[in-house]
Structure 1
Amino acid sequence: MDELMRRRVYGADHDDPDPGPRPGHVYVELVGGPLDGLLLDITGWPQDRLAVGAALGTELGKFGPGGRAVYGPTAAGPGRWAWEADSP
Structure 2
Amino acid sequence: MELPSLMGGAEIVGGVILFLSLVYRQVKTGARDAWREEAEAQTAKADRLSADMQTLVTEVRALRDENAGLRKEVAELRKENRELREHIDRLIGGNA
Do the two structures share a fold, i.e. TM-score over 0.5? no
Question: Which structure dedicates a bigger proportion of its chain to strand?
Answer: 1
Per the normalisation by structure 2, the TM-score is 0.13
Q: Name the TM-score, length of structure 1 as normaliser.
A: 0.13
Higher RCO, 1 vs 2 (CA within 8 Å, ≥6 residues apart): 1
Question: Which is richer in helix?
Answer: 2
